Amino acid sequence: MRVLNDRAALELLLHNGPMTRAELAAETSLSKVTASQMVERLEARGLVTVVGSRPGGRGPNATVYSVVPGYAYVVGVDVGPRTVTAALADLTGSVCGRVRIDTGDGDDPVQVVHRAVFDVVEAADVPQDRIRRIVCGTPGLVEPDSGDLGFSWELPSWHHGLRAALTEDLKRPVVFENDVNLAAVAEHRDGAAGGVDDFVYVWFSRGLGVGVILNGRLHRGATGGAGEIGYLPVPGGPLPSGSVARRAKGSFQQLAGADIVRNLARDYGFDRVNGAKAVKAAVAAGAEGEAFLDELASRMALGVASVSVVLDPGLVVLGGAVGYAGGEALATRVAAQVGKLAPVRPRVVVGTVPEDPVMRGAMFVGLDAVREEIFDEEA
């Protein structure tokens, strides 16, 4: 009961910000004496501290307490084929530092992550021993049983056994998670899917993917392959002959991947350096861009409809570089096309976390684990 009370108090302080003992007592429906004991225990552990006072009624001002941000930190790492970005967050979730490293195919993954982690720690000027967890978001499959990276066609040098090597090198827990899953977490916790516990997040970018949230939890599948929508066989996309090679592009990938979107946009007069910029230009062009957006939406809807008839989500969030670039103009068109293809009609919206969604999701996952560990230690 003591641990549960302390957990409730810390969560209130994390969610609401600085509070007095009386406010904590009122929010937890506990006595003022019990609330005072909670605060004393948290203060003794270095988890909370006095940050000021607040005028009350009669008597002295009430002391105001807040979570100590520097009690623990997590590092979120977004791994791409050409860059690795790392960000450091304190216990309250505030981002304290961010670094980006350019990479190549031959770079040693352990050294790349090591450099990114310690560069961001140094840039933020925080003690290394306060880093409690590193969460890496990568494209590809993450094995649910081992937590190891299964395969990633975009990261040929990232291999099975890497998680153990990184944990040994960094001397703290390292977690792998699929990048689209992490972006879905970011949209759930701080974006368009806030308050919705059953939705799908569809990522349209270099690769294609789906993050599935059911009952507020990520659904990864038996082998970590849930959401690998790029391999979905769809009309208009070439179908594989014989066994599917892991590095081969799937049917839907060859119909709606970012490189295909760029080529399609060129046919409609929007020649840009990548698919996302082409989509943004088409949206800005108004009536001149409608034909291209209609064609793109009809392609995207094949994947969205397929997922929707299986899971029947109430909400579909479009993300990835192309999804975010299309905004409501594209989301509205996709919703209309899905309604023509399937008997289900989920609400389709554009995501609202276009800035580093993978890294933000990684930090959320890391902070959840660290906060849980804090109370496991107390118990």
pTM of structure: 0.92
Per-residue pLDDT band at 236 (split at 50, 70, 90) = confident
Under 8 Å between Cβ of 365 and 75: no
> Which domains are present in the chain?
1-67 (1.10.10.10), 73-181+358-377 (3.30.420.40), 194-352 (3.30.420.40)
Provide the edge-to-edge strand list for the sheet that holds 217-218: 217-218, 208-214, 199-204, 315-319, 347-350
Of the candidate ranges 139-148, 258-267, 345-354, the one whose mean pLDDT is the lowest: 139-148
Rounded CA-CA distance 131/126 in Å is 9
Per-residue pLDDT band at 57 (split at 50, 70, 90) = low
Q: In terms of Cα–Cα distance, which of 255, 287, 289 is closest to 272? A: 289
Q: What is the pLDDT of residue 163?
A: 94
Q: Is the pLDDT of residue 105 over 80?
A: no
Q: Within 13 Å and on the Cβ side, how many CA atoms surround 362?
A: 30
Q: What is the pLDDT of residue 153?
A: 75
26-43: per-residue pLDDT in tens?
999 989 899 999 999 999
Q: What is the pLDDT of residue 311?
A: 96
309-341: per-residue pLDDT in tens?
999 999 999 999 999 999 999 999 999 999 999
Q: What is the pLDDT of residue 275?
A: 95
Would strands 347-350 and 62-67 be described as parallel, antiparallel, or unpaired? unpaired
Q: What is the pLDDT of residue 151?
A: 77
Rounded CA-CA distance 374/72 in Å is 10
Under 8 Å between Cβ of 357 and 319: yes
User: Which whole number is the average pLDDT over 296-306?
Assistant: 97
Rounded CA-CA distance 161/165 in Å is 7
107 CB-near residues (< 8 Å, 6+ apart) = 157
Q: What is the pLDDT of residue 145?
A: 87
162-207: per-residue pLDDT in tens?
999 999 999 999 999 999 999 999 999 999 999 999 999 999 998 8
Q: What is the pLDDT of residue 104?
A: 82
Per-residue pLDDT band at 241 (split at 50, 70, 90) = low
Q: Is the pLDDT of residue 246 over 80?
A: no
Burial of 29-51, coded b for 16+ CB within 10 Å and e otherwise, reads ebeeebbebbbebbeeeebbeee
Q: What is the pLDDT of residue 156?
A: 77
Q: Is the pLDDT of residue 245 over 60?
A: no
Percentage of the chain beyond pLDDT 70 is 96
Q: Where would I find the H helices in the chain?
A: 2-16, 21-28, 32-44, 109-124, 162-170, 179-190, 253-256, 258-267, 275-284, 290-311, 320-341, 357-378
